[in-house]
Structure 1
Amino acid sequence: MPRRFWGVRRLIRMPLAEGGEQYSIWVGLIYIFNLIVGTGALTLPAAFARAGWSLSTISVVFLAFLSFMNATYVIETMACANAVFKWKRLQTIKRDSIQDHDHDSEEESQQRSFGDMEEPLVCGDSIPSRYYSLDRRIELGEMANLFLSRTGRTMFFVLICVYLYGDLSIYSAAVAKSVMDVVCSSIPSNVTNPKEWDELPCFNSTTAATYTRLQVYRIALLTFVGAMGPFVFFNVQKTKYLQLFTSGMRWLAFTIMISLAIHLLVGRGPQGSPPAFDVTGLPTLFGACVYSFMCHHSLPGLISPIRGKNRLGLHLALDYTLITIFYLLLAFTGAFAFAHLSDLYTLNFVPTDNENIFLEVVEYFLALFPVFTLSTSFPIIAITLRNNLQSLFLDTSRIESYNFVLRKLLFPIVTVAPPLLLTYYLEDIGVLIEFTGSYAGTGIQYLIPTFLVVSARRHCNNLLGLGVVNKYKSPFSHMAWAVFVLLWSLMCVILVSVNISEKNS
């Protein structure tokens, strides 16, 4: 056999996984756990208390199930995309080998290629297929380009951009409010209406400059965006050690918050008395839960390096179960331990005049926790948004052909300016969470995975045949599940829209 054909055979055997270190299924689940349990969980206790502990418990469990179901849709679609790329690659190799080796008949070349790579495309019986794999990392944007129409691709990029704009707005407001609460004096106990807090003087001292809490918030916001915003003009990569640092800080903070809430419950008894059911708080809870369970846009990058993915669905279900229990523990302890819950849970642990130095240090750490973690994430989210905006409006295959002002100045400014202007005049994190989670979050977590998986199944069945089985197929593969997700998403968007319109009327 010619030497060139042996090179082709070796190329066929080469895995499609991208370079990089692989890790075990348990390490991958820890990464997914850390991805889901982020800053969105800090908004859950307040929303939990507003909707009522019983209704909220049912809602959290139900929305966790929906999030898991759509995560399996992303996995199935990723396997379909891998199959399409492998099929196209094999066809190219076959054509090249046939052209380069005229002495081999077309039938013999095909048999060699398929013998080394895969079983026939259309089989009489359903058998597992090596076409379907999760070796190659294929992001949601690539899946959208592969399986969705032009309208669907535009819808995807619009949704992801709106969601990332919401992320940047929430990050900016959370950091600014945290700094304000640390810098300013504590709120008097006789002020219970949150709308009155902004007009209070930041400092109780008569010798200090007269600044209101709102003014200090805006100064902190401008400082934060001024410090973090310039990174959007460059390409900044989050390092492994930075991820480990922020993950450690996050887990330390969550553990302290749960422990302190339990300590307060044991020491002084329940201070909060949330109702069992309050339907008016459901839209806010829905937005908080969608935001808290969001991981779908980053799943491909975490799943592809995992070794041994045969029981990935089962392990992912275990991960979601643990996350749901963790969220309920955080929300239950917070809802009953505090009489008034801030939209950002860490603000309930603002520093006080405490004789215990250790406890005071802990309070300062919790109050500044969003500043530590969100400051490291803000540049990454901003750069991701900038790249998606460029993909939506420019031809990325010839990005260097556009002028310098458009590439290097306009898109970074368009990325940072809207969140700054929005949070300058709207510091209510609850409203931001409700809008981002209920609209853009619904699209990214529910609609996009459902449309992708339905289109991917049809595409792969036409390309490979019905007999080639996708071993990563979602257990919720019946079309009724997809229809249910779409109807549920539509109903939730309508309910949230009605609730927002009633608040504004």
Structure 2
Amino acid sequence: MPRRFWGIRRLLRMPVTEAGDQYSIWVGLIYIFNLIVGTGALTLPAAFARAGWGLSTISLVFLAFMSFMNATYVIETMACANAVYKWKRIQSIKRDSVQDHDDHESDEPSRPFNDMEEPLVCGASIPSRYYSLDRRVELGEMANLFLNKTGRTMFYCTLCVYLYGDLSIYSAAVAKSVMDVVCSTIPANMTNVTDWDALPCFNSSSADPEAYTRMGCYRVALVTFAAAIGPFVFFNVQKTKYLQLFTTGMRWLAFTIMISIAIHLLIGSGAQSRPPAFDITGTPTLFGACVYSFMCHHSLPGLISPIRGKSRLGLHIALDYALISVFYLLLAFTGAFAFAHLNDLYTLNFIPTDNDNLFVKIIEYFLTLFPVFTLSTSYPIIAITLRNNLQSLFLDMTRLESYNFFLRKLLFPVVAVAPPLIVTYFLEDIGILIEFTGSYAGTGIQYLIPTFLVLCARRYCTTLLGLGVVNQYKSPFSNIAWAVFVLLWSFICVVLVSVNIIQKKS
């Protein structure tokens, strides 16, 4: 075979991810589980109680399916981006080899390119080596490849609003959870923000009350959280492996305890609440909670590219979604019937009491700190996703190594982490940010962006590679009718969330 084709064959065969940076499919599913199961899960019991158990069950299963469908769109688009990069690299090798062949005539007889062992154009039944998931291609790179200028602008605006908003929410939620555990309970007559800022953290007659305010404790917890979790943003997601595994155990333990306590209350005292089967007035709140509870699409590329053995990736992710849905249903059903009153954040139903039983107090404190365990693993994944997409926006990712160390390793992690920390340091009440981030930007990230990306990617790759090159990672929902349905559903979600926000303000 002519030497000018050796590089092309090696390129088609060679995985981009180094073996030492890879992990098994089960570790990857743990990462995805940790990313999806965040604080959104803790809002489900109250939403179930308001909308009714029947309507809530149907809605949760349906929204899990919609989220999974769009996850397959992200995977297909990532495979298309890998194919485009590989095609461009092949064309570069061919040009270089032809020029080298003209300069140095070879004595070896040449063969047509399509006679190679690895054909460039494959039959309908032969998977193409063009399409792979080995190279990590963030959503920002996909947008740069497949969307026009207007589409790229809207994409980056939506993504940055969502990710910066998410990081702000996570930072504040962790700091406030720690503060609620450390500080004394707020008296009933001290409920407004001004009193909250100046309220002493401890019931003390200290001469220096400023040093012991709840705001001071909140800020100390925030800075401590940033110092402990922030350094992970300077590395790749693989470096958080042991943190992910540890907190996965904590999540399973917390879910099991909350579900077990609720079941114990149901067995011992009977149902304390009997929510209706259907209550259409609670639909906006329910949809807002469910949409936010299945969000993972912005970080999927960074999680799936290091996975070994991706041949049945779609099936494994479907199983992950099914497991998460079962957890959500158990948590929501038991909570909705076991408690007469449900707080919007379910863990607040387990706040520490004056119980003298040490074991009970340990469980209460553990459940109160559950958001800390949950968000401490999601935070670095989302921050790394934001960092990578900011790099895609401002740098040429095909020659990333040509930039200096400051640009490659230091600047973008700081730009990703610093603004949310600064905002939450001075602003602890971020209710408006939660509504806007989890609804409008969340709908764009979960539904609109994957759909537009996959439609544009299919058209681009068909034009570039032809119809004969098969994408083995193509979504099973490839019919155009599914894409139209997602767009219509996105519009319905925006309307429902808008109604929910208007109802809260009225």
TM-score, normalised to structure 1, is 0.84
Spell out the pairing of 1:380-395 with structure 2 (5 A cutoff).
Answer: 381-382=382-383, 384-385=385-386, 388=389, 392=393
Q: Is the 8 A contact 1:291 1:441 kept in 2?
A: yes
Q: Which amino acid aligns with 1:111?
A: F
Q: Distance between the aligned counterparts of 1:35 and 1:410, measured in 2? A: 22
Which 5+ residue runs of structure 1 have no aligned equivalent?
none
For residues 372-392 of structure 1, give each alpha carbon's deviation from its aligned partner in whole angstroms, at most 9, with x where no partner exists.
443455466456546645655
Match of 1:142? 141
2:221 to 221, 224, 239: 224
Match of 2:234? 236
Q: CA deviation at 1:67?
A: 0.3
Q: Is the 8 A contact 1:45 1:341 kept in 2?
A: yes
Q: CA deviation at 1:292?
A: 1.4
Match of 2:499? 498
Q: Is the 8 A contact 2:179 2:221 kept in 1?
A: no
Query: Structure 1 pair 206/95, CA: closer, same or farther in 2 (3 Å)?
Result: closer
For residues 376-414 of structure 1, give each alpha carbon's deviation from its aligned partner in whole angstroms, at most 9, with x where no partner exists.
554664565466456557888797699xx9989877653
Q: Is the 8 A contact 1:74 1:296 kept in 2?
A: yes
Match of 1:44? 44
Q: Is the 8 A contact 2:168 2:421 kept in 1?
A: no
Q: Bigger CA drift: 202-211 or 75-84?
A: 202-211
Spell out the pairing of 1:96-135 with structure 2 (5 A cutoff).
Answer: 96-102=96-102, 103=105, 108=110, 110-111=112-113, 115-120=116-121, 127-135=126-134
Q: Distance between the aligned counterparts of 1:202 and 1:347, measured in 2? A: 21
Q: Distance between the aligned counterparts of 1:283 and 1:211, measured in 2? A: 43
Per the alignment, in what secondary structure is the counterpart of residue 276 of structure 1?
coil
Query: Structure 1 pair 393/482, CA: closer, same or farther in 2 (3 Å)?
Result: same
Match of 2:34? 34
Spell out the pairing of 1:371-450 with structure 2 (5 A cutoff).
Answer: 371-375=372-376, 377-378=378-379, 381-382=382-383, 384-385=385-386, 388=389, 392=393, 413-421=418-426, 423-426=427-430, 428=431, 432-450=433-451
Which 5+ residue runs of structure 2 have no aligned equivalent?
none
Q: Is the 8 A contact 1:269 1:337 kept in 2?
A: yes
Spell out the pairing of 1:110-259 with structure 2 (5 A cutoff).
Answer: 110-111=112-113, 115-120=116-121, 127-185=126-184, 216=214, 218-229=215-226, 236-237=234-235, 238-259=239-260
Q: Distance between the aligned counterparts of 2:191 and 2:244, measured in 1? A: 36
Match of 1:330? 331
Q: Is the 8 A contact 2:390 2:412 kept in 1?
A: no
CA RMSD of aligned residues (A): 3.7
Q: Distance between the aligned counterparts of 2:497 and 2:208, measured in 1? A: 39
Per the alignment, in what secondary structure is the counterpart of residue 28 of structure 1?
helix
Per the alignment, in what secondary structure is the counterpart of residue 467 of structure 1?
coil
Q: Which amino acid aligns with 1:424?
A: E
Query: Structure 1 pair 76/378, CA: closer, same or farther in 2 (3 Å)?
Result: closer
Q: Which amino acid aligns with 1:340?
A: H
Q: Percent identity?
A: 68
Spell out the pairing of 1:347-386 with structure 2 (5 A cutoff).
Answer: 347-375=348-376, 377-378=378-379, 381-382=382-383, 384-385=385-386
Query: Structure 1 pair 10/475, CA: closer, same or farther in 2 (3 Å)?
Result: closer
Q: Which amino acid aligns with 2:80?
A: C
Matched residues, number:
490
Q: Is the 8 A contact 1:386 1:411 kept in 2?
A: yes
Q: Distance between the aligned counterparts of 1:390 and 1:129, measured in 2? A: 29
Q: Distance between the aligned counterparts of 1:420 and 1:132, measured in 2? A: 45
Q: Distance between the aligned counterparts of 2:466 and 2:108, measured in 1? A: 22
Query: Structure 1 pair 447/62, CA: closer, same or farther in 2 (3 Å)?
Result: same
Q: Distance between the aligned counterparts of 1:69 and 1:194, measured in 2? A: 47
Q: Is the 8 A contact 1:265 1:337 kept in 2?
A: yes
Match of 1:69? 69
Q: Which amino acid aligns with 1:225?
A: L
Q: Distance between the aligned counterparts of 1:406 and 1:29, measured in 2? A: 30
Q: Distance between the aligned counterparts of 1:269 and 1:377, measured in 2? A: 36
Spell out the pairing of 1:13-32 with structure 2 (5 A cutoff).
Answer: 13-21=12-20, 22-32=22-32
